[in-house]
Amino acid sequence: GIQVEQSPPDLILQEGANSTLRCNFSDSVNNLQWFHQNPWGQLINLFYIPSGTKQNGRLSATTVATERYSLLYISSSQTTDSGVYFCAVTGGYQKVTFGTGTKLQVIP
Amino acid sequence: DAGITQSPRHKVTETGTPVTLRCHQTENHRYMYWYRQDPGHGLRLIHYSYGVKDTDKGEVSDGYSVSRSKTEDFLLTLESATSSQTSVYFCVTGGNTEAFFGQGTRLTVV
pLDDT tens, residue by residue, B14-71: 999 999 999 999 988 888 999 999 987 788 999 999 899 999 999 899 999 999 999 9
Residues on chain A touching B100 (C-beta within 8 angstroms): 45
Lowest mean pLDDT among A88-92, B31-35, B45-49, B84-88: A88-92
Total beta-carbon pairs less than 8 A apart between chain A and chain B: 52
Residues on chain A touching B97 (C-beta within 8 angstroms): 31, 48
Give the residue from B82, B100, B80 showing the smallest Cα distance to B91: B100
Q: How confident is the model at residue A67 (pLDDT cuts 50, 70, 90)?
A: very high
Lowest mean pLDDT among A66-75, A96-105, B79-88: A96-105
Residues B35 and B104: beta-carbon distance below 8 Å:
no
| Contact yes or no for A99 and B42 at CB 8 A | yes
Residues B110 and B23: beta-carbon distance below 8 Å:
no
- Determine how many CB atoms are found less than 10 A away from the CB of residue A50: 15
Q: How confident is the model at residue B95 (pLDDT cuts 50, 70, 90)?
A: low
**CA B20, B25, B28 angle in degrees (round to 5)?**
135
73-92 in chain A: CB under 8 A from chain B: 86, 88, 90
pLDDT score of B102 more than 90 = yes
- Determine how many CB atoms are found less than 10 A away from the CB of residue A95: 18
